[in-house]
Structure 1
Amino acid sequence: MSEGQHYQLKRTVVFVGMMGSGKTAIGRALALRLGVPFVDSDTAIEEAAAATIPEIFAHDGESFFRKREAEVLERLLSGPPGVVSTGGGAFLAAGNRDMIVEHGVGVWLDASLETLWERVRHKDTRPLLRTADPKATLTQIFHDRSPIYALAGLHISIDAEASIPETTQSVIDRLATRPDILETT
């Protein structure tokens, strides 16, 4: 597909996958290319709660956070088609997966464990990695969650060497194979 083509997004694209897989970066770039709104669900939760994700986890717990996450996802999926990036745990809830299937399409950005570790190891904004051995924690989360992410409607293997525009083009090419999701005009 060439850069000059026009697209009509028919269903909201919901990026799922591990922390560090590129959901927000690719989501922003895809929304810009398609001329549709982009929302990071974690940012929307933070804005609604007037608190950061780590603060919400610390003060109210993960269960409270997951309820807010489902509410935000439902709101985002009820609007016009756009692009949503979710937190790494959003797709784990069966109710969220059902909403995504019914109102949008889940796109799993599948990055290798090595790529993920390189991207998140120096960040302190990941509450689930605040452990004595963050790499072991990431490894466990990766192995636990990958089979669930594999349930997403579309699967994009992330090339650690690919640029954001190259990965975004790969996503567009994959979406364009589904005219019920993305129509080329």
Structure 2
Amino acid sequence: LSAGGGAFMDPDTRALIKQRGISIWLRADLDTLVSRTKGRTHRPLLNSGDPRQTLAEMIEVRYPVYGEADIIVDTGLDNPNVTGSRVNAALDAFLAQPRPAADSPAGPQS
């Protein structure tokens, strides 16, 4: 499931994702985001004013929250297959980590 960037900003949504899933943030720097979104009209927040400035402001507010993701994969202008391979490797490493038992205080609650 790919949630829109704003969805993860909601504390209740983050808590639900943390409880029921694994969150992966595909982190990109400002230049990459500007390049990826240039000329696209389906992003309402970027359709007025200076898109670079808007993205910079969004990064300042959102990146600290996105940093709560279970997995963070740095991306750039790489081929999507390269990014996909990085995501798979990061997910494999995450899943290989020991987890608290389901009935322990730190484990999932029913």
TM-score (norm 2): 0.82
**2:85 aligned with 1:173:** no
Please point out which of 41, 47, 60 is paired with 1:124: 41
Structure 1 runs (4+) greater than 4 angstroms displaced = none
**2:58 aligned with 1:141:** yes
- State the match for 1:111 in structure 2: 28
Task: Determine if contact 2:23/2:71 at 8 Å carries over to the other structure.
Answer: yes
Query: How far did 1:176 drift?
Result: 0.6
Unaligned runs of 5+ in 1: 1-83
Query: How far did 1:126 drift?
Result: 0.5
C-alpha distance in structure 1 between counterparts of 2:56 and 2:94, whole Å: 33
The 3-state SS of whatever aligns with 1:156 is strand
Alignment of 1:11-160 (within 5 A): 84-160=1-77
Aligned residue pairs, count: 97
Task: Determine if contact 1:131/1:137 at 8 Å carries over to the other structure.
Answer: no
Query: How far did 1:117 drift?
Result: 0.2
TM-score (norm 1): 0.50
The 3-state SS of whatever aligns with 2:15 is helix
Unaligned runs of 5+ in 2: 98-110
C-alpha distance in structure 1 between counterparts of 2:60 and 2:34, whole Å: 13
Give the partner amino acid of 1:179. Answer: L
From the superposition, tell whether residues 121 and 143 of structure 1 become closer, same or farther in structure 2 (CA, over 3 Å): same
C-alpha distance in structure 2 between counterparts of 1:177 and 1:115, whole Å: 26
From the superposition, tell whether residues 103 and 134 of structure 1 become closer, same or farther in structure 2 (CA, over 3 Å): same
Task: Identify which of structures 1 and 2 has the higher relative contact order when contacts are C-alpha pairs closer than 8 Å and 6+ apart.
Answer: 1
Compute the RMSD of aligned alpha carbons: 1.5
Percent identical among aligned pairs is 32
From the superposition, tell whether residues 122 and 94 of structure 1 become closer, same or farther in structure 2 (CA, over 3 Å): same
